[in-house]
């Protein structure tokens, strides 16, 4: 028996006047964290609104927890916790009032866990929302989603307004959710350090298109920067899977997205250095490469 | 909750290698004796705030090295530590022998000359 995918998007298209999301296909299984990474305006929030049933696709299929979206969103949403950084709580009510409110709607509300989170996040339930700092507000919104214990958390830039300490608290909490193999998280972020640390799968999106989606370890293993020093007067032939080549006299830097020992053996004694790449470097190289191939 | 393993963002090595290295050190030091159960993949991922796939990769590679054994549905355990220590020493010996062979070639020694020098070194050690 195969477990139901928590998110399945197939050939999804959504067009606006100045922006089109095209041919988006991705999957997230239970027990996994997916980092959804893209520059501003890439289509991250549009994709997330399609997943949460806030938008209807022009074409293609969106299924979340086995339910077709947006048609079956009422059922699906019982088990989805959605947080975006533009959500605002009621300014003149306390956090405690919000907790009771959410508890009254969602039967899965875990009051004990909510109390634990209040302590871990250093929040005060009796405080009015209007008195919260922006970081505390972000943590309060996350608390309200986490304490429902949804099977799927969809988080749009959950760490963007947080200081380093708060980010650490929040990321630890995400990993704690994943102790349960039937839960999953999709989160969008610009912060590739956070994504590199906690994601199992990573999807890169740029200008309305998915440019790469794969296991994190797979990304980190495939990409390398190779520095060569060539004998004077020689050049490197065109090689497959080389996404960029910078020549500076006898010194050449190749970036490959399919590193292998064969490639290294082929380049032989010309190789001066081989470097692994951080997720941020991979992301930028990937985006630039795709923009070039599409002639943009 | 176990959190004695450190992940450094300024370390150029990937996270799974940093984790493997620190687990190996605990086993070689004897802090984690043979047969000891390792933290479950999800528990260690939560403790270190590192993705599940990274811990999986580290455990899989440690298993391939024979440092740990994984019993399906039961968890991962420290393998025979004597085997590990022995293997590491064997590896070290091979490294030193390769270095000696290289030096011998630079000096123009024949394999027999080199073997004789090794025998002499052993005799000198026995005398002491």
Which architecture does CATH list for B15-79? Orthogonal Bundle (1.10)
**Do the Cβ atoms of A200 and B49 come within 8 Å?**
no
| Over residues B54-75, mean pLDDT | 89
pLDDT at B72: 81
Higher pLDDT, A168 or B126: A168
Quick one: which of A209, A234, A229, A290 has its CA closest to A257? A290
| B41 inside 8 A of chain A by CB | no
Does residue A286 lie in a domain region? Answer: no
Distance (Å, whole) CA B29 – CA B52: 26
Nearest 5°: the CA angle A48, A54, A56 is 95
Cis peptide before A70 (omega within 30 of 0): yes
* ipTM score for this prediction: 0.74
C-alpha A62/C-alpha B53 separation (Å) is 26
Neighbouring residues of B109: CB distance < 8 A, sequence distance ≥ 6:
B117
B50 interfacial to chain A (CB closer than 8 Å): yes
Does residue A147 fall inside a structural domain? yes
- Cα A215 to Cα A17, A88, A180, A196: the distances in Å are 34, 34, 20, 11
Q: Is B51 on the interface with A (CB under 8 A)?
A: yes
B2 to chain A, any CB pair closer than 8 A? The answer is no
A281 is a domain residue: no
pLDDT-derived band of residue B84, with 50, 70 and 90 as boundaries?
A: low
Average pLDDT, chain B: 85
Question: Are A184 and A259 contained in the same domain?
Answer: no
What is the number of structural domains in chain A? Answer: 2
Report the residue from B42, B43, B49 with minimal CB separation from A198: B49
pLDDT for the residue A32: 93
A88 touches chain B (CB under 8 A): no
Asked if residue A186 and residue A41 are part of one domain, the reply reads yes
Q: Please tell me which of the candidates A176, A198, A201 has its beta carbon nearest to residue B50.
A: A198
Residues of B in contact with A179 (CB under 8 A): 42-43, 46
- Which pLDDT tens digit goes with each residue over A84-138? 888 899 999 999 999 999 999 998 899 999 999 999 999 999 999 999 998 899 9
- A62 and A16 belong to one structural domain: yes
In the predicted structure, residue A148 carries a pLDDT above the cut 70: yes
Q: Report which of residues A242 and B80 the model is more confident about.
A: A242
Could you say which of A213, A232, A256 is where a domain stops?
Answer: A213
State the pLDDT at residue A160: 83
| Chain A residues closer than 8 Å to B3 by CB | none
- CATH classification at residue A50: 3.40.50.300
Per-residue pLDDT at A185 exceeds 60: yes
Residue A293 lies in a domain: no
Contact B12 A276 (CB under 8 A): yes
pLDDT, chain A, mean: 91
CA-nearest of A163, A101, A172 to A137 is A163
- Does one domain contain both A135 and A269? no
Q: A177 and A262 share a domain?
A: no
Regarding whether A131 and A23 lie in a shared domain, the answer is yes
Q: Taking CB atoms and an 8 Å cutoff, what residues of chain A touch B6?
A: none
Predicted local confidence at residue A2, as pLDDT: 58
How far is residue A261's CA from residue A257's CA, in Å, rounded to a whole number?
A: 13
Contact (Cβ atoms closer than 8 angstroms) between residue B79 and residue B69: yes
Asked if A22 and A109 sit in the same domain, the reply is yes
Inter-chain CB proximity B51 and A168 less than 8 Å: no
Q: Provide CB contacts within 8 A for A118, sequence distance 6+.
A: A95, A124, A125, A143
Q: What is the pLDDT of residue A1?
A: 43
Question: Is the pLDDT at A174 greater than 60, yes or no?
Answer: yes
Two structure tokens written together for A158: 């959950």
User: What is the DSSP pairing of strand A33-37 with strand A59-64?
Assistant: unpaired
- SS3 for chain A is CCCCCCEEEEEEEEECCCCEEEEEEEEECCCCEEEEECCCCCCHHHHHHHHCCCCCCCEEEEEECCEEECCCHHHHHHHEEEEECCCCCCCCCEHHHHHHHHHHHCCCCCHHHHHHHHHHCCCCCCCEHHHCCHHHHHHHHHHHHHCCCCCEEEEECCCCCCCHHHHHHHHHHHHHHCCCCCCEEEEEECCHHHHHHHCCEEEEEECCEEEEEEEHHHHHHHCEEEEEECCCCCCCCCCCCEEEEEEECCEEEEEECCCCHHHHHHHHHHEEEEEECCHHHHHHHHHHHHHHHCCC
Is residue A130 domain-shared with residue A261, that is, in the same domain?
Answer: no
Any chain B CB within 8 A of the CB of A273? no
User: Hey, is the C-beta of B43 within 8 angstroms of any chain A C-beta?
Assistant: yes
Do A42 and A163 lie in one domain? The reply is: yes
A96 & A235 share domain = no
pLDDT for res B12: 80
The model carries a pTM of 0.81
Confidence of residue A249 (pLDDT cuts 50, 70, 90): confident
Same domain, A241 and A107: no
pLDDT of residue B31: 85
Cβ atoms of residues A51 and A69 within 8 Å: yes
Segments forming the whole domain that contains residue A253: 224-276
A4-60 pLDDT, tens digit each? 899 999 999 999 999 999 999 999 999 999 999 998 889 999 999 999 999 999 999
- Tell me the CB-side half-sphere exposure of residue B119, using CA atoms within 13 A: 6
3-state secondary structure of B71: strand
The answer on A140 and A85 residing in a single domain is yes
Using a CB-CB cut-off of 8 Å, the residues of chain B touching A31 are 52
Quick: pLDDT tens for A193-238: 888 889 999 999 999 999 999 999 998 999 999 999 888 888 888 8
| Residues in chain B closer than 8 A to A276 (CB atoms) | 12, 14
Segment B60-64 mean pLDDT = 91
């Amino acid at each position: 028996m195969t477990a139901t995918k928590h998110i399945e998007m197939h050939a999804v298209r959504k067009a606006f006047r100045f922006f089109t999301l095209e041919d988006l296909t991705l999957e997230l299984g239970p027990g996994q964290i997916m980092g959804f990474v893209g520059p501003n305006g890439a289509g991250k929030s549009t994709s997330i609104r399609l997943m949460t049933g806030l938008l209807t696709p022009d074409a293609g299929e969106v299924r979340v927890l086995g339910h077709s979206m947006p048609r079956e969103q009422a059922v699906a949403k019982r088990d989805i916790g959605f947080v975006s950084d533009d959500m605002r709580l009621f300014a003149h009510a306390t956090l405690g009032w919000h907790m009771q409110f959410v508890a009254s709607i969602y039967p899965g509300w875990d009051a004990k866990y909510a109390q634990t989170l209040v302590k871990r996040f250093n929040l005060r339930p009796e405080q009015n929302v209007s008195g919260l700092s922006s970081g505390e507000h972000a943590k309060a919104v996350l608390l309200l989603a986490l304490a429902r214990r949804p099977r799927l958390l969809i988080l749009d830039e959950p760490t963007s307004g947080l200081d380093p300490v708060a980010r650490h608290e929040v990321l630890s909490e995400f990993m704690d959710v994943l102790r349960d193999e039937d839960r999953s998280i999709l989160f969008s972020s610009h912060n590739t350090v956070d994504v590199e640390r906690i994601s199992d799968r990573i999807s890169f999106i740029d200008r309305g298109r998915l440019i790469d989606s794969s296991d994190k370890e797979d990304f980190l293993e495939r990409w390398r920067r190779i520095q060569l020093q060539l004998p004077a007067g020689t050049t490197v032939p065109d090689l497959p899977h080389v996404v960029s080549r910078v020549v500076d006299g006898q010194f050449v830097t190749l970036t490959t997205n399919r590193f292998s020992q064969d490639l290294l053996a082929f380049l032989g004694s010309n190789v001066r250095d081989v470097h692994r790449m951080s997720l941020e470097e991979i992301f930028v190289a990937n985006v630039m490469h795709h923009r070039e191939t599409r002639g943009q | 909750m176990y959190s004695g393993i450190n992940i450094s963002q300024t370390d150029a090595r990937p996270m799974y290698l940093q984790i493997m290295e620190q687990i190996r050190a605990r086993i070689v030091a004897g802090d984690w004796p043979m047969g000891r159960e390792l933290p479950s993949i999800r528990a260690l991922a939560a403790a270190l705030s590192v993705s599940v796939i990274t811990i999986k990769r580290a455990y899989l590679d440690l298993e391939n090295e024979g440092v740990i054994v994984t019993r399906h549905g039961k968890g991962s355990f420290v393998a025979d530590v004597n085997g590990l220590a022995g293997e590491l020493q064997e590896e070290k010996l091979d490294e030193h022998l390769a270095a000696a062979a290289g030096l011998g070639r630079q000096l123009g020694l024949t394999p027999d000359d080199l073997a004789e020098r090794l025998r002499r070194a052993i005799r000198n050690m026995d005398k002491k």
